[in-house]
């Protein structure tokens, strides 16, 4: 009876896994390679369940089957949205996260507008050399209203039909880390001009292009903001 129960449970695991796999394949449009990966991950719990039912018994097999389903749901269900002609603007792309993000999105096939503080600086030059022709380097001091407007005109000219899929407000300054009582008012003003008012200016300026594509607005921050 135990063998029969184990066999029944094993086949039940396999059946559920098959249904699970078919559901994942039909849930979204995928390339043949993505479908193959999803199918492989959906078969994993079935194979583990049938193997463990025979070796660990019904209880152990069911436990492993449940764990396998969770793993396959995480790995097999992850699908990246198609890039198509999506365009993204990133401020503060000279160095750091903005620089790395510009490179990464370019490698995925996005149309990237990398706003930099120094258009002829080493960071901007590296982006030109290492990225595809889809990436455009823009002179963009976000505290300069004229530069923000000029960047908007250049971007809108290229994406007038599709709009912007994303704006990443990444540009920011830390200032001088010291006791607040010792810092001059000019340091506070600079931080607010870049980290707050600059991000607001970019967001308000590019919102029409975001609305056109129902895009995303991402505001980056820093753990340094927790410091008093």
In CATH, what class is 87-221?
Answer: alpha beta
Q: What is the mean pLDDT of residues 2-6?
A: 47
- Say which residue, 151 or 224, is predicted with more confidence: 151
- Say which residue, 68 or 92, is predicted with more confidence: 92
One-letter-per-residue 3-state SS of 76-91? HCCCCCCCCCCEEEEC
| Range with top average pLDDT, 151-155, 162-166, 182-186 | 151-155
Q: 38-52, 94-108, 141-155: which range is least confident on average? A: 38-52
In the chain, DSSP assigns E strands to 87-90, 111-116, 136-139, 166-169, 216-219
- Say which residue, 32 or 201, is predicted with more confidence: 201
Of the candidates 80, 68, 78, 123, the one whose C-alpha atom is nearest the C-alpha of residue 101 is 123
Q: How far apart are CA 121 and CA 117, in angstroms?
A: 8
Q: What is the pLDDT of residues 127-140, one digit of tens each?
A: 999 999 999 999 99
Q: Radius of gyration over alpha carbons of the chain, in Å?
A: 26
User: Tokens 């980056």 label which residue?
Assistant: 220
Q: What is the mean pLDDT of residues 34-40?
A: 61
Q: 3-17, 83-97, 104-118: which range is least confident on average? A: 3-17
Per-residue pLDDT, 185: 86
Residue 34 has pLDDT above 90, yes or no: no
For 90, residues 6+ apart whose C-beta sits below 8 A from its C-beta are: 98, 101, 102, 105, 112, 113, 114, 115, 168, 170
Per-residue pLDDT, 169: 97
Q: How far apart are CA 178 and CA 135, in angstroms?
A: 38
Torsion of the alpha carbons at 103, 136, 127 and 92, rounded to the nearest 10 = -80
Per-residue pLDDT, 10: 54
């Amino acid at each position: 009876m135990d063998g029969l129960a184990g066999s029944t449970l094993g086949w039940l695991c396999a059946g559920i896994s098959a249904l699970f796999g078919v559901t994942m394949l039909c849930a979204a449009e995928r390339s043949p390679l993505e479908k193959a990966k999803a199918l492989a991950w959906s078969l994993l719990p079935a194979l583990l369940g049938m193997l463990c039912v025979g070796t660990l018994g019904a209880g152990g097999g069911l436990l492993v089957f449940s764990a396998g389903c969770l793993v396959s749901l995480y790995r097999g269900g992850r699908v990246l949205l198609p890039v198509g002609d999506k365009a993204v603007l990133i401020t503060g792309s000279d160095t750091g996260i903005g620089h790395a993000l510009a490179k990464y999105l370019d490698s995925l096939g996005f149309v990237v507008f990398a706003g930099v503080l120094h258009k002829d600086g080493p960071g901007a030059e590296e982006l030109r050399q290492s990225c595809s022709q889809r990436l455009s380097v823009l002179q963009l001091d976000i505290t300069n209203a004229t530069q923000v407007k000029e960047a908007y005109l250049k971007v809108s000219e290229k994406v007038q039909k599709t709009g912007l899929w994303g704006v990443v407000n990444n540009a920011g300054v830390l200032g001088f880390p010291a006791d607040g009582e010792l810092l001059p008012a000019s340091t506070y003003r600079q931080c607010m001009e870049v980290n707050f008012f600059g991000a607001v200016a970019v967001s308000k300026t590019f919102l029409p292009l975001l609305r056109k594509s129902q895009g995303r607005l991402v505001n980056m921050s820093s753990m340094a903001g927790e410091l008093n």
